């Protein structure tokens, strides 16, 4: 009996050690990753003035010019547009699903959202090439008297918008559901219509959460790689309009990493791109998550 | 009276807008699945599914995408297994050992949540630079490790979401009976959480098999089925990506076929996950 207890204690002890080690691994890997990416990109920071890196649009790796402006702006434009497209769809459907919809519709929508969230990036890319690219090239652009290949900023944003819809929608539904029922009930009993409850109570109460959901969506969109790479055109110039090709940061890394070995500065520049992505996404995620945590605690 | 009328009309208009928003989402999903199936099914046949590329495959020659199918399955299985081995103790530790340390728990959750969003291309680029540093070539193992690092946060947080729901009473009752934390973790929390853990595994598997950016530099691409962990491996997403950029229509057709295979795998995962959670939800008293 005593030996058994001892065995159990020893087992417990070793198990705790294993658990602490795995937890440490999970926490330290990204930290190591961040430090090494930062170290690698410091080569570029040391050899070019910062102004030239961030505010120049000359991207000529063979001549040692690494201006990130076209890529940063491409990423920012594509992301903003995607949010503008996806935002209203997400808010309205989240409100409908949580406030009005019959259980049957909710049962239909759940798998739909699941599937949309599960479809791999590359399949979205294929769909973009098959449907959105010709749609832009043959239908939309000619309406504005423009001629394009269809591989443009707006194409990338539309595909990206579809990709982030399930992600934002899921968070929005969760957040709207945290608004206490008593609050909406009280307003309804005062004679308000359901829409007025939504306008004056739910949206107001859930506002920080809604903003955070979009923050998370932004960071999702900012880092999306393959689908955008496939449809956005990838020309290293600042896009001048919706129908210009764009070249976002993740696409830059994916397209060129692996063949930049001959030029050390090029390697460092691509790591710099990874660092910009890393930092901006961590920042957006952190701010959004903290505000969601606060909201959930308060309610 | 007039004002009442206006309020009612406003609500009606917005209900229509909300319905349209839901409709758009359903429509888009249908459109995506239909497009992929319509383009891919005609290109799909046994030969494509069961043979590896022969000479000149990427210029329209004979062969199939078996290399990519097998490669992807190996990669996703391996990565999911490693992620499982790391995620299970971590999420149990978080919920059993740290049960009373709320600040610590929240800090770790926040950390992992923030990590969740780091794009896979960053993981891929980092892994590739590590490989170069040690003089390693692209291989199945490198791909598995990279993908497992990138899906671990996803798996941990979704396991955590289920383990969180295990009632505190259960923990206290087991404690008072003299159980060690190890026993509480694996005999109670793990068992209770099995349906949720299964869904977490499926979710991560889906992420692993569908991601292209993290394997782009690490796993390489080859026409053969890998025989060991040190050989490079082809994957479905990359097979789609490479073949689609070919100017030859027949090669593009095969990209569509590969896209159908990948989409069907994802649909199966999604359906299985839903069945599991529904089956167990029935017995769950909340």
Each residue's pLDDT tens digit, B216-259: 888 878 777 888 887 888 888 988 888 888 788 778 888 888 89
Q: What residue spans define the domains of chain B?
A: 2-43, 47-283
Looking at residue A298, what is its pLDDT? 65
* Averaged pLDDT for residues A262-270: 79
Interatomic CA distance for residues A71 and A236, integer angstroms:
7
Dihedral-angle region of residue A242 (phi above 0 means left; psi in -120 to 50 means alpha; beta otherwise): alpha
Token pair for B232: 């490079």
Polymer length in residues for chain A: 299
The more confident residue out of A59 and A275 is A275
Looking at residue A261, what is its pLDDT? 64
Question: What is the number of domains present in chain A?
Answer: 2
* Averaged pLDDT for residues A51-75: 81
Instruction: Indicate if A123 and A13 belong to the same structural domain.
Output: no
Give the helix/strand (H/E) hosting A57.
none
* Averaged pLDDT for residues A86-98: 92
CB B115 within 8 Å of CB B153: yes
Interatomic CA distance for residues B41 and A230, integer angstroms:
22
Query: Is B15 close to A257, i.e. CB distance below 8 A?
Result: no
Nearest to A161 by CA among A107, A102, A97, A214: A214
253-282 in chain B: CB under 8 A from chain A: 255-256, 259, 262-263, 266-267, 269-271, 273-274
Instruction: Indicate if A37 and A59 belong to the same structural domain.
Output: no
Interatomic CA distance for residues A108 and B19, integer angstroms:
13
* Averaged pLDDT for residues A87-96: 93
Range name among A60-64, A65-69, A138-142, B248-252 with the lowest pLDDT average:
A60-64
Instruction: Indicate if A20 and A62 belong to the same structural domain.
Output: no
Instruction: Indicate if A151 and A259 belong to the same structural domain.
Output: yes
Question: Which of A10, A29, A47 is the C-terminal boundary of a domain?
Answer: A47
| A109 burial level (CB within 10 Å; 0-12, 13-18, 19+) | buried
Each residue's pLDDT tens digit, A98-107: 888 888 888 8
Looking at residue B247, what is its pLDDT? 80
Instruction: Indicate if A43 and A87 belong to the same structural domain.
Output: no
Task: Give the ipTM of the model, two decimals please.
Answer: 0.89
- Chain A nearest-CA distance from B60, in A, is 19
| Chain A CB within 8 Å of residue B143 CB | no
Instruction: Indicate if A88 and A25 belong to the same structural domain.
Output: no
- Chain B nearest-CA distance from A153, in A, is 19
The more confident residue out of A165 and A68 is A165
* Averaged pLDDT for residues A110-131: 90
Question: Which range, B76-85, B96-105, B264-273, has the best average confidence (pLDDT)?
Answer: B76-85
Alpha-carbon A49 to chain mean position: 30
Question: What is the overall mean pLDDT for chain B?
Answer: 85
Instruction: Indicate if A178 and A215 belong to the same structural domain.
Output: yes
Range name among B14-18, B24-28, B133-137 with the lowest pLDDT average:
B133-137
Render A17-40 in DSSP notation, one character per residue: HHHHHHHHHHHHHHHHHHHHHHHH
Instruction: Indicate if A123 and A155 belong to the same structural domain.
Output: yes
First to last CA, chain B: 45
Token pair for A88: 């209203």
Going from the C-alpha of A33 to that of each of A203, A265, A278, A282, B125, the distances in angstroms are 39, 19, 10, 13, 10
Query: Is A18 close to B89, i.e. CB distance below 8 A?
Result: yes
Point out the residue among A26, A131, A274 whose CB comes nearest to the CB of B35. Answer: A131
Does position B286 have pLDDT exceeding 50, yes or no? no
Interatomic CA distance for residues B232 and B229, integer angstroms:
8
Interatomic CA distance for residues B269 and B263, integer angstroms:
10
| Confidence band, pLDDT 50/70/90 cuts, at residue B285 | very low
Express as a percent the part of chain A with pLDDT over 70. 97
Residues in chain B within 8 Å Cβ distance of A289: 110, 113-114
Query: Is A277 close to B183, i.e. CB distance below 8 A?
Result: no
Render A219-281 in DSSP notation, one character per residue: HHHHH--HHHHHHSB--SS---STTS-B--HHHHHHHHTTS-TT-HHHHHHHHHHHHHHHHHH
| Chain A CB within 8 Å of residue B241 CB | yes
Query: Is A92 close to B18, i.e. CB distance below 8 A?
Result: yes
Range name among A1-5, A144-148, B36-40, B171-175 with the lowest pLDDT average:
A1-5
Instruction: Indicate if A286 and A198 belong to the same structural domain.
Output: yes
CB A40 within 8 Å of CB B125: no
Instruction: Indicate if A109 and A218 belong to the same structural domain.
Output: yes
Query: Is B182 close to A254, i.e. CB distance below 8 A?
Result: no
Contacts of A257 (CB under 8 A, 6+ apart): A270, B124, B125, B128, B216, B217
Looking at residue B181, what is its pLDDT? 82
| Confidence band, pLDDT 50/70/90 cuts, at residue B262 | very high
Does position B179 have pLDDT exceeding 50, yes or no? yes
Polymer length in residues for chain B: 286
Express as a percent the part of chain A with pLDDT over 90. 24
* Averaged pLDDT for residues A188-212: 85
CB A270 within 8 Å of CB A208: no
Question: What is the overall mean pLDDT for chain A?
Answer: 86
Read off the CATH number of the domain in which A287 is found.
1.10.3720.10
Query: Is B18 close to A96, i.e. CB distance below 8 A?
Result: yes
- Chain B nearest-CA distance from A285, in A, is 5
Instruction: Indicate if A65 and A124 belong to the same structural domain.
Output: yes
* Averaged pLDDT for residues A274-295: 88
Range name among A76-85, B29-38, B175-184 with the lowest pLDDT average:
B175-184
Size of interface A-B (CB pairs under 8 A): 258
* Averaged pLDDT for residues A129-144: 86
Question: Which range, A11-15, A239-243, B55-59, B206-210, has the best average confidence (pLDDT)?
Answer: B206-210
Going from the C-alpha of A194 to that of each of A98, A120, A130, A189, B186, the distances in angstroms are 12, 37, 41, 10, 47
| Confidence band, pLDDT 50/70/90 cuts, at residue A240 | confident
- CATH class of the domain at B47-283: mainly alpha
The more confident residue out of A14 and B54 is A14
* Averaged pLDDT for residues B17-23: 92
* Averaged pLDDT for residues A35-43: 88
Point out the residue among B94, B112, B241 whose CB comes nearest to the CB of A122. Answer: B241
Looking at residue A168, what is its pLDDT? 93
* Averaged pLDDT for residues A176-190: 83
Instruction: Indicate if A141 and A208 belong to the same structural domain.
Output: yes
Q: Which domain holds residue A230?
A: 53-298
Q: What is the pTM of this model?
A: 0.90
Place of tokens 């930092």: A279
* Averaged pLDDT for residues B203-219: 87
Looking at residue A76, what is its pLDDT? 92
A 10 A CB-CB count for A253 gives 30
Does position B283 have pLDDT exceeding 60, yes or no? no
Does position A69 have pLDDT exceeding 90, yes or no? no
């Amino acid at each position: 009996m005593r030996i058994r207890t001892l065995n159990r204690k020893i087992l417990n002890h070793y198990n705790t050690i294993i658990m602490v080690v795995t937890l440490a691994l999970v926490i330290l890997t990204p930290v190591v990753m961040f430090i090494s990416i930062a170290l690698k990109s410091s080569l570029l920071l040391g050899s070019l003035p910062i102004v030239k890196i961030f505010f120049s649009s000359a991207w000529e790796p063979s001549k040692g010019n690494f201006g990130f402006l076209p890529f940063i702006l491409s990423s920012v434009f594509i992301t903003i547009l995607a949010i503008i497209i996806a935002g209203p769809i997400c808010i309205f459907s989240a409100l409908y699903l949580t406030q009005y919809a019959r259980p049957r519709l909710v049962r239909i929508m759940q798998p739909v959202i699941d599937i949309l969230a599960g479809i791999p990036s590359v399949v979205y890319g294929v769909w973009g090439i098959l449907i959105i690219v010709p749609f832009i090239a043959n239908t939309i652009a000619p309406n504005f008297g423009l001629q394009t290949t269809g591989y443009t900023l707006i194409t990338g944003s539309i595909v990206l918008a579809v990709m982030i819809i399930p992600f934002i929608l899921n968070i929005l539904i969760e957040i709207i559901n945290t608004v206490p029922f008593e609050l909406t009930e009280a307003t309804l009993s005062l004679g308000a219509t359901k829409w007025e409850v939504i306008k004056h109570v739910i949206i107001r109460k859930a506002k920080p959460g809604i903003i955070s959901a979009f923050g998370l969506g932004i960071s999702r969109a900012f880092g999306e790689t393959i689908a955008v790479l496939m449809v956005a055109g990838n020309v290293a110039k600042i896009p001048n309009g919706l129908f210009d090709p764009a070249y976002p940061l993740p696409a830059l890394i994916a397209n060129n990493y692996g063949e930049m070995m001959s030029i050390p500065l090029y390697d460092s520049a691509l790591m710099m791109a990874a660092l910009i992505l890393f930092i901006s996404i961590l920042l957006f995620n952190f701010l959004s998550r903290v505000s969601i945590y606060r909201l959930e605690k308060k309610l | 009276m007039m004002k009442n009328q206006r309020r009612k009309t406003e609500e009606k208009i917005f209900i229509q807008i909300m319905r349209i928003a839901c409709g758009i989402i359903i429509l888009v999903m249908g459109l995506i699945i239909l497009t992929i199936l319509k383009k891919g099914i005609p290109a799909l046949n046994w030969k494509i599914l069961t043979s590896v590329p022969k000479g000149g495959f990427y210029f329209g020659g004979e062969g199939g995408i078996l290399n990519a199918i097998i490669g992807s399955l190996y990669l996703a299985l391996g990565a999911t297994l490693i992620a499982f081995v790391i995620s299970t103790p971590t999420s149990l530790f978080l919920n059993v050992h740290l049960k009373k340390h709320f600040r610590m728990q929240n800090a770790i959750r926040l950390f992992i949540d923030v990590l969740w969003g780091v794009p896979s291309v960053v993981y891929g680029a980092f892994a590739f630079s590590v490989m170069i540093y040690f003089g390693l070539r692209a291989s199945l193992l490198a791909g598995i490790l990279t993908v497992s690092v990138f899906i671990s946060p996803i798996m941990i947080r979704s396991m955590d979401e289920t383990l969180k729901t295990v009632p505190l009473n259960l923990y206290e009752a087991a404690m008072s009976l003299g159980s060690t934390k190890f026993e509480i973790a694996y005999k109670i929390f793990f068992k209770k959480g099995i349906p949720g853990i299964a869904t977490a595994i499926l979710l991560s598997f889906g992420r692993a098999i569908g991601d292209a950016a993290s394997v782009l530099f690490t796993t390489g691409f080859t026409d053969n089925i890998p025989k060991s962990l040190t050989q490079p491996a082809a994957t479905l997403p990359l097979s789609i990506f490479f073949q689609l950029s070919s100017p030859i229509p027949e090669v593009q057709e095969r990209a569509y076929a590969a896209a159908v295979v990948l989409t069907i795998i994802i649909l199966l995962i999604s359906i299985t996950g839903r069945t599991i959670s529904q089956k167990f939800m029935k017995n769950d008293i909340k």
